[in-house]
Amino acid sequence: MKYIKMYLACAHTAFSRAAAYRADFLLGSIITLLSNILFPLVTVLIYTNGATFPGWTMWEVLLIQSVYSMSTGAAAMFFYSVVWVTMEHIREGSFETVLLKPVSPLFFIASSNFDPQYGGLFLGGLVLTIVSSAHTNISGLSGILQFILLFTAGLAVMSGLYLVMAAITFKWVGNARIPEIFDSIITFGKYPAGIFPRGIRVLSTLIVPVSVIGYFPASALLGRLEPMAYISLIPCLLFLAFGIWIYNRMIKLYEGVGG
């Protein structure tokens, strides 16, 4: 309860900050939404020109991509700013101000930098998911429950990746290109895994399980879930746990060497 109250108070400051520059907030939300949500247009273009992703209809692929948008929007709202804020604190040598708060530094940074701008992306993804679902055969309640489980696991992977990136900034000070590596990695989650070579499938399922961001939850809704999806839940949890561990470990190193 204490932490929920704290989170809400910190998130409130984040909202106030966003509201301080209303035009910037609205424009940023629209740009984030458009740059991500327009992506499925490429899929529409591919299908309307006669090409396909073998074994998948256009609406099924769109469903994967809209679930992916929802997942990236939700994870970015809660964790993306951890990367930038940590990077900024380390570069400016102001991380001490975070360590002065009587809470976990990770909790403090994540809550006080909650980014409502990504809410638009989440909602856009949600609308597209509903539209795509209406054009496909959605499996029953068990499919929806499996979707919720895998969607949550996808959030865990994304959050874990954000934390790993944030942890890297402790050593790789001020490198603003780290998120580009991340964007390239998670792109594999946007497509049906079957279109990739076996090596990439194993990598995107078991090593860095980005398939759980869009492909697996959408497959659950469609009733086409592969057994491999359940195995990938383990690396999802491990990824989040590793992200939290490495971030906290880097803080310890900072406490040890900063000055």
Residues 36 and 72: their CA atoms lie apart, in Å, by 10
Distance CA 76, CA 14 (A): 14
Which of 71, 86, 112, 146 touches another protein by CB under 8 A? 112
Amino acid at 118: Y
Is 22 an interacting residue with respect to another protein (CB under 8 A)?
no
Q: Quick one: which of 46, 99, 237, 246 contacts another protein (CB under 8 A)?
A: 99
**Non-local CB neighbours of 143 within 8 Å, separated by 6+ positions:** 220, 221, 222, 223, 225
Which residues on neighbouring strands pair with residue 53, listed in sequence order? 56
The answer to whether 139 contacts another protein (rule: CB under 8 A) is no
Question: Minimal distance in Å, beta carbon 128 to another protein?
Answer: 32
Whole-number Cα distances in Å, 208 to 47, 186, 238:
29, 9, 10
**Closer to another protein by Cβ: residue 11 or 58:** 11
**Distinct helix (H) and strand (E) counts, the chain:** 14, 0
Q: Which is nearer to another protein, 104 or 136 (CB)?
A: 104
Q: Cα–Cα distance between 37 and 48 in angstroms, integer?
A: 18
Q: Which is nearer to another protein, 2 or 177 (CB)?
A: 2
Among 23, 49, 54, 102, binds another protein (CB under 8 A): 102
As measured in angstroms, the least distance from the Cβ of 7 to another protein is 9
Residues 196-255 that bind another protein (CB under 8 A): 252, 255
Shortest separation between residue 157's beta carbon and another protein, angstroms:
28
Q: Which is nearer to another protein, 5 or 177 (CB)?
A: 5
Whole-number Å distance between alpha carbons of 77 and 107 = 14
Binding site residues, another protein, CB under 8 A: 2, 5-6, 8-10, 12-13, 16-17, 20-21, 93-97, 99-104, 108, 112, 252, 255-259
